[in-house]
Structure 1
């Protein structure tokens, strides 16, 4: 079987910075190759054209191009023509694309198209209670209409997307993202920097970073030794128009809390794993995700995680067993859970062990790749 992936990001030194979508696709692509599947990845909106070979995967780096008018349309045609050429040459059986921005709207392929719900703009707007631009909704709707089938990383993401776009639920298969868990092993889970809280993710409103500032202020009031490390790209804030969400968040920290905050910006993937290992607790108070790769990465490294209690997270964590679930707006309880973990080493250890077991059961990419293969076969046949 030969599978092609269309994506705006993929982790590689020669490509633009990648985040959760790229990481989840690479994990699957490499696992598929190990199972004898030929994988070609088409990465668009890049700074140049190139063909890259990495871990058995063939990557087509496709440059961003501007046209005199209707760039959104003509660039899609350019991508379509390039991809169709490779599909014919390599005899690719199936194409997978993300729902975000409806990149495959106006494209036509001669093989089945599967769309995976990494998170559409419409999905995030609904969770954030934010109005979506009609053009964005239209593009995503058109893209979804042309798909033969859909994959959701969580049942919650699948059900919510089906409601938004009125999709046939029978065409949606829930298949969790996965990790190459052999690459996420913590040999010393009891060695960490005490009272250190780690947040990983874009500094953006939907990730609960404003609430995190309030939470940390409350933690520091009780535990002045607490420190907060933030990792991730700074983002434009849609509500205020500020070019830096972090500057807005920074102003929310109390004078005492601000002394104990360290914003590192974007760091390498290997560095992120080291920061997770060194953290006492990982926190993800997000309002909008489809799954959250950094959550399962932290769990795999046996870290106690305090996550959101919204939909998707309930499929990752059993509250009080392999992590904690708290709504981001409940800042008092969120701070209480962090302080509880700080003061109870045994609880941290127990949750970490259970978290690792959960990842091995549900998020092992070797197992989940096989589920993907069987689903692809059912679509092709």
Structure 2
């Protein structure tokens, strides 16, 4: 097969923007290519127009364009025209797009379109209990209507998206995002910096980072030597219109606690593993997610994790077996779980070992790629049964 992905981000040294979507697509694309399939990546809203050959995977950077009027429509049609040309030239069989912003709303392809629920604006607004702009919902709904089928990284994400967009008569297949677990080894899980908490992800309200100052304060009331390390891009805050969520966070820490907080900002992806290895515990108190790639990466590296307990998280971690699940607003219990880990190294190793086993069982890309291939084949040849 020849499979294409239309995406706003992708994990590659030349591409500045890449988070969970970019990482998950990169993992899948690489595994699909290794399985003998041709892969083309279309990345839109790029600063330059160029084609990159990434070890046999062809990456098309589609330059962003400005229009005086109707840019939301005309740029989508520009992307469609470019993709259609390559689809014809390269005999691409199926194209997959993300749900975010409904990028395919006004696009028409002669091949099947699959949408993967990485997380639409409608989905995140629903989880955060905030009102979505009608225009944004309209774009995403139009895009959903044009897709032949859907893939959800968790049952939770699929069911919520199905309700929000009133999807009927079309298949929603749950296939977890995966990673190449051979690239996430931790040969010394017992070697870590005592009493160090690590958060990795964008500093944004929906990720629950504004809960961390209260949680951290409760931890330090018991263990004053505790440290909090934060890694990830800063972002605009939609509720307060602040340009910096980090500035909001700093105002929530006590002065004494802030002395034990280290914010590294965004760092190269290849440096993140060393920080995961050094952490005593990793925390992900997010309110809105579809799966959480960095959580899986930390689990693969045998880290003890305190995660959100909302919906999708229950498909990642078995509470008290492969990590802890706690609601982000429950500051007392969240801190209590962290303190438990800090006081018990054998518990840290036990949870970390089970976390690794969980990833090997559920999130190994080498197993998940087969499910993806079978799904694409069923869409391309709907009358042909796959095994």
Secondary structure of the residue that 2:28 maps to in structure 1?
Answer: helix
Deviation at 1:20? 0.4
Check conservation: 1:197, 1:228, Cα contact below 8 A: yes
Q: 2: CA distance between counterparts of 1:350 and 1:169?
A: 44
Check conservation: 1:9, 1:43, Cα contact below 8 A: yes
Q: 1: CA distance between counterparts of 2:248 and 2:334?
A: 21
Q: 2: CA distance between counterparts of 1:42 and 1:331?
A: 42
Is 2:297 the counterpart of 1:290? no
Give the corresponding residue for 1:274: 274
The alignment's TM-score, normalised by the length of structure 1, stands at: 0.99
Deviation at 1:169? 7.0
Q: 2: CA distance between counterparts of 1:90 and 1:108?
A: 17
Check conservation: 2:306, 2:337, Cα contact below 8 A: yes
Deviation at 1:311? 0.3
Q: 1:98 to 1:202 in 2, by over 3 A?
A: same
Q: 1: CA distance between counterparts of 2:171 and 2:128?
A: 26
Check conservation: 1:16, 1:46, Cα contact below 8 A: no
Is 2:190 the counterpart of 1:190? yes
Is 2:235 the counterpart of 1:235? yes
Which residues in structure 2 correspond to 1:196-275 (within 5 Å)?
A: 196-275=196-275
Is 2:84 the counterpart of 1:61? no
Q: 2: CA distance between counterparts of 1:226 and 1:168?
A: 50
Give the corresponding residue for 1:91: 91
Which residues in structure 2 correspond to 1:1-381 (within 5 Å)?
A: 1-168=1-168, 171-381=171-381
Secondary structure of the residue that 1:265 maps to in structure 2?
Answer: coil
> What value does the CA root-mean-square deviation take over the aligned residues?
0.7
Check conservation: 2:148, 2:170, Cα contact below 8 A: no
Q: 1: CA distance between counterparts of 2:363 and 2:115?
A: 20
Which 4+ stretches in 1 moved above 4 angstroms?
A: none
Check conservation: 1:162, 1:169, Cα contact below 8 A: no
Residues 73-125 of structure 1, C-alpha deviation per residue, up to 9 Å, x if partnerless?
11101100000000000000000000000000000000000000000000000
Deviation at 1:256? 1.8
Deviation at 1:213? 1.2
Residues 281-316 of structure 1, C-alpha deviation per residue, up to 9 Å, x if partnerless?
000000000000010000000000100000000000
Check conservation: 2:98, 2:115, Cα contact below 8 A: yes
Q: 1: CA distance between counterparts of 2:67 and 2:251?
A: 41
Query: What 5-or-longer segments of structure 1 have no aligned partner?
Result: none
Q: 2: CA distance between counterparts of 1:232 and 1:328?
A: 19
Secondary structure of the residue that 1:41 maps to in structure 2?
Answer: strand
Check conservation: 1:30, 1:56, Cα contact below 8 A: no
Check conservation: 1:159, 1:169, Cα contact below 8 A: no
Q: 1: CA distance between counterparts of 2:350 and 2:238?
A: 40
The alignment's TM-score, normalised by the length of structure 2, stands at: 0.98
Q: 2: CA distance between counterparts of 1:26 and 1:319?
A: 29
Secondary structure of the residue that 1:228 maps to in structure 2?
Answer: strand
Secondary structure of the residue that 1:289 maps to in structure 2?
Answer: coil
Q: 2: CA distance between counterparts of 1:56 and 1:323?
A: 38
Deviation at 1:170? 5.3
Check conservation: 1:154, 1:291, Cα contact below 8 A: yes
Deviation at 1:255? 1.9
Deviation at 1:12? 1.3
Secondary structure of the residue that 1:118 maps to in structure 2?
Answer: coil
Q: 2: CA distance between counterparts of 1:340 and 1:256?
A: 22
Check conservation: 2:102, 2:144, Cα contact below 8 A: yes
